[in-house]
Amino acid sequence: MSYGGARAFAAAFRFLGVDARVSPGGDEHTYELAGRYTSGDECLPERVTIGNFLKVIESPGFVPERTAFFMPTAGGPCRFGQYAPFLETVLRQVGHEEVMVLSPTSADGYEGLGDLAGPMMKLGWWGLVGSDALRKMLHIYRPYEVEPGMADAAHEAALDLFCGTLADTAIAFDKKVPALAGALEKGRDLFRRIPVDFSKETLLIGVVGEIFCRLSTFSNEDLIRKLETFGAQAWLSDICEWVWYTNAEQEKNLRLFGRAFSLEMLGVKLKKHIQHDHERKLLAPFKEEFVGMEEPHNIREVLERSYPYLPYTGSLGEMVLSIGKAIYCYEQGADGIIDISPFTCMNGIVTEAIYPRVSKEHEGIPMRTFYFDGTQTDLENDLGIFMELAHNYNRKKTRKRKRRLVA
Ligand code: SF4
């Protein structure tokens, strides 16, 4: 979960009467706490989430019997499915087995959330759409800000407005979408008031990869902020992409099992229709801002681009999306692609093996995987080299980028 996404989810829970808070951010102590209970075989996101939950246990005022940790789960070969059971094991080890682990899964329609499941599905979606949009605004404005820190401050204030509206119990559930769209418009205007120089030359870099690591600035050592110091503007793949992908997977599986014409399929189609409609309303204020960085209208646009390299009919997960989105970014005039991956994660390993061919077949656009394992790396140096390649590519590329040049 991204910082903004986690804040929005907590706000959504608060609207439903649950006293929800975002778990603390990562720091050295996160790794120190996680290191006491992990062996080193776990992937980085698992260490970060365990460490941050353990920080909650250490915090003053922690009441175990009144605390639950929200840690969704999923099936499949990815280690993510092990996070929740592992968290329960660690809680037993630290003597806090009474702390509940709330672990909903799409496999059972999020039954684990009980009565909250229905409204939470919608509130969570609105929260993801809004927080994704505000993070994209941050990445659009920050490279051009005249005074450092203004874009971060605007992002924080815009998130406050958005999450405040989401949590506000005075706004009825059926009035939430227009209210949230209004809050996002006000948030957009906070960005518009930042003094910026949009005539500054930047290179557009598509950032794809494993969902947790690419969105957690702590886990990826704030790669995008560092990239911006080399004159880049990042286009980071968002969380909504994952929701569209899981919808497409649900449809694919229903077809595979002969249930193309079933009530379940109707439910998936209806859910998608409502999600699209709400997304359109929430994103309406950002039309001008997102020029040249429009997301694909349909997730199939990403999956089809990936197909010659990693057919979605057989491959699963972020690796498929990363390849497809990288090609999509190339077509929109990006100057390079960065893939963020936790060390030892299959996503990065697979995509890294495929990128040389993708690059060769797309004018030689530079594509590079950056691995993270929580230890110090020479990230600045590597980014500097990558940006040199991006500059060289920029001089010869034929796909021109569409840019807004005025504030
Ligand atoms: S995608 Fe990779 S890093 Fe992420 S949870 Fe799965 S195994 Fe771990």
Q: pLDDT, tens digit, for every residue of 285-322?
A: 999 999 999 999 999 999 999 999 999 999 999 999 99
Closest ligand 1 atom to Cα of 212: 4
**Domains of the chain by start residue, with CATH:** 3-110 (no CATH), 199-238+295-407 (3.40.50)
Predicted pLDDT at 244: 95
Distance 79 CA to ligand 1 centre (A): 5
Give me the phi and psi of 315, to 5 degrees please.
Answer: -95, 155
Predicted pLDDT at 105: 81
Q: Which two tokens stand for residue 226?
A: 């560092």
Give the C-alpha distances (Å, rounded to integers) separating 282 from 162, 285, 300: 11, 7, 22
For ligand 1, pick from 50, 212, 242, 319 the residue to mutate: most ligand atoms within 8 Å of CB.
212
For ligand 1, pick from 38, 48, 49, 80 the residue to mutate: most ligand atoms within 8 Å of CB.
80
Question: Within the chain, what is the greatest distance between any pair of CA atoms?
Answer: 62
Contacts of 206 (CB under 8 A, 6+ apart): 234, 235, 237, 325, 326, 328, 329, 330, 334, 336, 337, 338
User: 159 and 190 in contact (C-beta within 8 Å)?
Assistant: no
Query: In this structure, is the dihedral angle defined by the CA atoms of residues 305, 290, 233 and 389, taken in order, positive or negative?
Result: positive
Distance 43 CA to ligand 1 centre (A): 6
Ligand 1: list residues with CB < 6 Å: 43, 45, 78-80, 210, 212, 342, 345, 347
Whole-angstrom distance, CA of residue 395 vs CA of residue 390: 9
The reported pTM is: 0.95
* Low-confidence residues of the chain: pLDDT under 70: 106, 108-109, 404-407
Predicted pLDDT at 377: 77
Give the C-alpha distances (Å, rounded to integers) separating 388 from 114, 227, 383, 385: 52, 12, 9, 5
Q: pLDDT, tens digit, for every residue of 191-246?
A: 999 999 999 999 999 999 999 999 999 999 999 999 999 999 999 999 999 999 99
* Continuous H helices in 205-316: 211-215, 223-228, 240-256, 263-283, 299-306
Question: How much of the chain is in helix, strand and coil states, percent to nearest 5?
Answer: 60, 10, 35
Nearest to 329 by CA among 360, 301, 308, 349: 301
| Three-class secondary structure of residue 70 per DSSP | strand
Nearest to 225 by CA among 291, 288, 154, 148: 148
Distance 322 CA to ligand 1 centre (A): 14
Nearest Cα residue to atom 2 of ligand 1: 345
Whole-angstrom distance, CA of residue 147 vs CA of residue 397: 32
Residue the block writes with tokens 């505000």: 134
Give the C-alpha distances (Å, rounded to integers) separating 3 from 9, 216, 363: 10, 7, 35
The total number of residues written for the chain in this structure: 407
- The enclosing H or E element of 292 equals none
Work out the end-to-end distance of the chain between its first and last CA atoms, rounded to an integer number of angstroms.
31
